[in-house]
Chains A and B, each alone.
Chain A
Amino acid sequence: MTEKRKLRIFGRLQRTPKEKWKKEEFSELEYEPTPVKELLTEMKDISELIIDLAYSSLLFDNEEISEEVKYLDVRMDKLNYDIRMMAMMATRTKEDAEQLAGILQVAEAAESISNAAGDIVSLRSKGKTGPILPKILKQADEQLFRIKASKDSKACNQKIGDLKVETETGMRLIAIRRGECWIYNPQSDTSIQADDWLITRGTDEGYKDLRKFLHGELEALE
Chain B
Amino acid sequence: MTKKTVEDIVLEIKDKSELMIDLAYSSLLYDNTTIAKEVYDLEDLIDNLYKSLQRQTLESVEKKKLSVDDALAVLRLAEASEQIADAAQEIADVELRDVELHPILKMSIRDSDVVFTRTQVKEGSVLCKKTLGELKLASETGMMVIAMRHGDKWLYGPNKNTKIDSGDVLFAKGPEDGEKHLIELATGKTMEI
A residues apposed to B, CB below 8 Å: 2, 10, 36-37, 40-41, 44-45, 47-48, 51, 54-55, 58, 98-103, 105-106, 108-110, 112-113, 115-117, 119-120, 123, 126, 128-130, 132-133, 135-137, 139-142, 164, 166-172, 185, 187, 202-203, 205-206, 209
* Chain B interface SS verdict (over half): helix
In the assembled complex, B49 has its CB within 8 A of some CB on chain A: no
Minimal Cβ-Cβ distance residue in B for A136: B7
B139 within 8 A of partner (CB): yes
Q: Is the CB of B100 within 8 A of A99?
A: yes
Does B38 belong to the interface (CB within 8 Å)?
Answer: no
Neighbouring B residues of A169 by C-beta, 8 Å: 139, 142
Contact of B70 among A115, A130, A172, A206 (CB under 8 A): A130
Give the docked Cα–Cα distance between A45 and B144 (Å). Answer: 17
On whether the beta carbons of A105 and B77 are closer than 8 Å, the reply is: no
Contact (Cβ within 8 A) B11 A166: no
Does B181 touch A at the CB level, under 8 Å? yes
**For residue B90, which residue of chain A has the nearest CB?**
A109
Please tell me if the beta carbons of A116 and B139 are within 8 angstroms of each other in the complex.
no
Which of A100, A109, A187 has most B Cβ within 10 Å? A109
> How many angstroms between the C-alpha atoms of A187 and B93 in the bound complex?
31
Residues on B with C-beta less than 8 A from A108 are 90
Q: How far does the Cβ of B41 sit from chain A's closest Cβ, in whole Å?
A: 18
Q: Is the CB of B21 within 8 A of A47?
A: yes
A120-B80, A205-B136 known; A113-B70 Cβ under 8 A: no
Q: Which of B81-89, B123-131, B162-170 has 4 or more CB atoms under 8 Å from chain A?
A: B81-89
